[in-house]
């Protein structure tokens, strides 16, 4: 019998630890992911989530990875992007997940990769449209994405706050984009509370192991990649172990600050590797 916990109930019971995985793109990636899932499931996280590609290629494997997670005795949450999907397609996906025993969803609109032309326009314009449809179809716990430093497409800070307030108010919880300074998280949560939005905001942490990859993602997301962290990583040169140690230390320090700031949960972006996620969770006393 798969675990049936709802994330809103888990958050009500206390601080959560969770891990995020990317849908694999090839058989090699799938094998590595299966090993990683087994190792991190042993830490008994509150839940593990699996991304869903907005652009086609990585859409397929998400349900099978979620099924595997449930089989490991861990609550599994699929991400679902509604961009370029029809309402019928989304209903079909929700029903397939319900049959599997899924009780949680990260509802996203998603961005098509730059220059994508072959994907058809769908029936949804925002993540809140998907939240509304999922509420009609299920009694699940539904999360949304949050961007503590502001979304790069927002036309102004006021527009950004309004967009986030509407999205968070519709959801049971939010998970943030990765960031490196705790003050962005604290400011974001305080802004939402000032707007009367008290939806729990789980902080997303990315250990910065891959210097160039993180730099690219940070630039795309509008995330500040602090010079002091970059300088430490660059000083380690090609020494992979030293870089991993620095990334683990930096993520642990941020995690400590976020726990002290009262985050209801920490969500570690694993990039499908069990280390350094496992060490960070242990350092923080969450495993």
Residues designated catalytic: 20
Closest alpha carbon to 252 in 222, 213, 279, 220: 279
Are the CB atoms for 49 and 64 separated by under 8 Å? no
Neighbouring residues of 221: CB distance < 8 A, sequence distance ≥ 6 = 147, 149, 152, 177, 178
- Of the ranges 5-13, 51-59, 186-194, 246-254, which one interacts with ligand FAD (CB under 6 A)? 51-59
Least separation in angstroms between residue 231's CB and ligand FAD is 26
- Of the ranges 174-182, 206-214, 247-255, 274-282, which one interacts with ligand FAD (CB under 6 A)? 174-182
Task: Note whether 204 binds ligand FAD by CB under 6 A.
Answer: yes
Cα 274 from Cα 37, distance rounded (Å): 8
Neighbouring residues of 210: CB distance < 8 A, sequence distance ≥ 6 = 271
Residue from 153, 187, 198, 216 in contact with ligand FAD (CB under 6 A): 153
Least separation in angstroms between residue 238's CB and ligand FAD is 31
Closest alpha carbon to 263 in 195, 165, 190, 172: 190
Residue from 6, 126, 243, 278 in contact with ligand FAD (CB under 6 A): 126
- Of the ranges 28-36, 156-164, 189-197, 210-218, which one interacts with ligand FAD (CB under 6 A)? 156-164
Residues 6-35 that bind ligand FAD (CB under 6 A): none
Residues 96-115 that bind ligand FAD (CB under 6 A): 106, 108-111
Give kind and range of the element (H or E) at residue 80: strand 76-81
Are the CB atoms for 254 and 219 separated by under 8 Å? no
Q: Nearer Cβ to ligand FAD, position 218 or 246? A: 218
First to last CA, the chain: 24
Task: Note whether 164 binds ligand FAD by CB under 6 A.
Answer: yes
Compute the 3-state secondary structure of the chain and give helix, strand, coil in percent, each to the nearest 5. 45, 15, 40
Least separation in angstroms between residue 61's CB and ligand FAD is 12
Least separation in angstroms between residue 40's CB and ligand FAD is 17
Residue from 18, 36, 81, 103 in contact with ligand FAD (CB under 6 A): 81
Cα 230 from Cα 218, distance rounded (Å): 12
- For ligand FAD (CB under 6 A), the number of binding residues is 28
Q: Nearer Cβ to ligand FAD, position 51 or 199? A: 51
- 3-class secondary structure per residue, 271-282: CCCCCCHHHHHH
Give bridge partners of residue 106 from the DSSP assignment.
79, 143
The residue ranges that bind ligand FAD (CB under 6 A) are 51-54, 79, 81, 106, 108-111, 126-127, 144-145, 147, 151, 153-154, 159-160, 163-164, 167, 175-177, 204
């Amino acid at each position: 019998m798969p675990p049936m916990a709802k994330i809103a109930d888990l958050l009500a019971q206390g601080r959560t630890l969770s891990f995020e995985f990317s849908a694999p793109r090839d058989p090699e990636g799938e094998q590595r992911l299966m090993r990683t899932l087994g190792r991190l499931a042993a830490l008994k996280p509150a839940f593990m989530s699996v991304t869903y590609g907005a652009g086609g290629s990585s859409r397929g494997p998400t349900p099978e990875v979620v099924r595997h997670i449930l089989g490991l005795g861990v609550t599994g949450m699929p991400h679902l992007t509604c961009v370029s999907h029809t309402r019928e397609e989304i209903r079909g996906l929700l029903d397939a997940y319900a049959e599997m025993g899924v009780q949680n969803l990260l509802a996203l609109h998603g961005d098509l990769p730059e220059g994508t032309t072959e994907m058809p326009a769908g029936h949804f314009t925002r993540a809140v449209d998907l939240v509304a449809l999922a509420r009609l179809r299920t009694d699940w716990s539904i999360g949304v994405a949050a961007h503590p430093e502001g979304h790069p497409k927002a036309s102004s800070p006021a527009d950004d706050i309004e967009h986030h307030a509407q999205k968070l108010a519709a959801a049971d919880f939010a998970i943030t984009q990765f960031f490196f300074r705790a003050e962005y998280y604290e400011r974001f949560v305080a802004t939402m509370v000032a707007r009367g939005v008290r939806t729990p905001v789980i902080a997303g942490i990315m250990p910065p192991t891959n210097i160039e990859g993180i730099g690219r993602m940070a630039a795309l997301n509008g995330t500040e990649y602090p010079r002091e962290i970059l300088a430490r990583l660059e000083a380690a040169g090609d020494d992979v172990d030293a870089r991993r140690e620095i990334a683990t230390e930096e993520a642990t320090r941020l995690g400590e600050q976020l726990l002290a700031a009262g985050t209801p949960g920490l969500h570690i972006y694993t990039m499908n590797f069990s280390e350094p996620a496992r060490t960070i969770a242990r350092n923080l006393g969450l495993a």
